[in-house]
Amino acid sequence: MTTYPTSLSPTPALTDKATLEAAVDCLIEHLPIEMEGGYTPQDLFEILLRAASCSDSIEHTAQRLQGVPSGNGIRYHLDKFVDMATVEQQLNATLQSRLPEKLRKSKPSVAIDLHLIPYYGNASAIEAPYVYRSQAKAGTTSFFAYATVYVICRHKRVTLAIHAVHCQETLVATVTYLLAMLSPLQIRVKRLYLDRGFYSVPVIRWLKALNMPFVMPAIIRGKTGGTRQLLVGRKSYATRYTLQSGQYGTVRCQMRVVCTYHKGFKGKHGIQYSLYVVHRVKIALNQLHQHYKHRFGIETSYRLKNHCRIRTTTKNPVTRLLFVALAFILVNLWVYLLWCFVSRTRRGGRVVYRELFALKTMLEFLKQAVEQHFPAITSVYLPATL
């Protein structure tokens, strides 16, 4: 059960107008755009924030507010974001501009993962480079893929970079790009957690060449050979294993075989085996599985992102990246505002009052503040009779 403070300060720590101002300033600072028709960049970003706060579409948002451009007018200005590399660089600068104190120059654990959004239809020449093929999901094998790097740290769980994955891009290139995005922050990676989708000879070989500490689940393959041959015994153990690939050769890696018990979970009993590839990681075998669960925070970031992602049917890869990145920016901003305004320092560490300022509260603040500038339509009028 959530507990709330019995008494509150007489002055507000944060208001809806201050929240909107912080969000708009963050976007204007790093996403320059020229406006027409008497509107300003602030007007455009306020409309986008209103759509994101309600997880709504641009068209419906334009219909609900007074004094804003039409849906076509808003999309006309959004189409000015053309170059994918430039927009991606600007969005990553925005993500990194509002971070909790002391995160820069620190040494946290980070996670890298791919987030797939289903794609339907036939890709045009503009869309095709960013249509990523993967296992069937939601009735399709085509997706817009976004790779993100995420900090695993209490009260500082933020996304540091996002990358629109090219259809011909290798996993090694994706990992290299995201790790390079940490350089401006001078962050040294304590431990890197990756999904089993990165389990491959090139990725493991490259991370070992970088001497990067990492933990990665291994895929269990084979009937009696392969990695399945390691699933023996009733105790966890460490061993070395040679991963083979007909295309990329072999790589020798450290393997950890972790034994746990189902204990009747989902009606299952007996031993459950988990395999992990590790490098320069000193974690007790009985704690490795629990440590890896910390990586699931990046999955939580995707769920939070879905609460504030603008809904759209556009297939323009640059616009879609903008909408997805805006959702991550809002989650980062929420963590930043919690750290800076809805917390107190004390002996033993900062106290963050998350229960007083949930993400949903911040989104409601944004919606309220925008509607003070662009009032919501409260009446419906029929066409005049002829």
Q: Same structural domain for residues 166 and 23?
A: no
Question: Of 215, 228, 345, which Cα lies nearest the Cα of 285?
Answer: 215
- How many CA atoms does the CB half-sphere of 111 hold within 13 Å? 27
pLDDT at 326 over 70: yes
Is 325 a domain residue? no
Q: Same structural domain for residues 101 and 70?
A: no
Is 375 a domain residue? yes
pLDDT score, position 48:
97
What's the CA gap between 176 and 289, in Å, rounded?
A: 26
Q: Same structural domain for residues 93 and 180?
A: yes
Q: Same structural domain for residues 68 and 110?
A: no
Q: Same structural domain for residues 6 and 45?
A: yes
Last residue of a domain, one of 287, 302, 317: 302
Give 234-264 pLDDT, tens digit per residue.
899 999 999 999 899 999 999 999 988 877 6
pLDDT at 225 over 90: no
SS3 content of the chain, % helix, strand, coil (to 5): 40, 20, 35
What's the CA gap between 253 and 205, in Å, rounded?
A: 9
Is 330 a domain residue? no
Q: Same structural domain for residues 126 and 271?
A: yes
Give 278-291 pLDDT, tens digit per residue.
999 999 998 898 88
Q: What is the mean pLDDT of residues 160-166?
A: 95
Is 331 a domain residue? no
Q: Same structural domain for residues 203 and 276?
A: yes
Q: Same structural domain for residues 99 and 183?
A: yes
Is 332 a domain residue? no
Give 184-212 pLDDT, tens digit per residue.
888 899 999 999 889 999 999 999 999 99
Q: Same structural domain for residues 59 and 107?
A: no
Is 310 a domain residue? no
pLDDT score, position 177:
95
On average, the pLDDT of the chain sits at 90
Q: Where does residue 362 rank: exposed (0-12), middle (13-18), buried (19+ CB within 10 A)?
A: buried
Phi, psi of 141 (to 5 degrees): -110, 10
Q: Same structural domain for residues 10 and 154?
A: no
Number of domains in the chain: 2
pLDDT at 222 over 90: no
pLDDT score, position 280:
94
Is 334 a domain residue? no
Q: Same structural domain for residues 97 and 76?
A: no
Domain span holding position 90? 86-302
What's the CA gap between 197 and 191, in Å, rounded?
A: 18
pLDDT at 1 over 60: no
CA-based R_g, the chain, Å: 24
Is 238 a domain residue? yes
With beta carbons less than 8 A apart as the criterion, state whether 244 and 202 touch.
no
Q: Same structural domain for residues 363 and 240?
A: no
Of the candidate ranges 175-179, 204-208, 255-259, 350-354, the one whose mean pLDDT is the lowest: 350-354
Tracing tokens 């669960």 back to the chain, one arrives at: 293
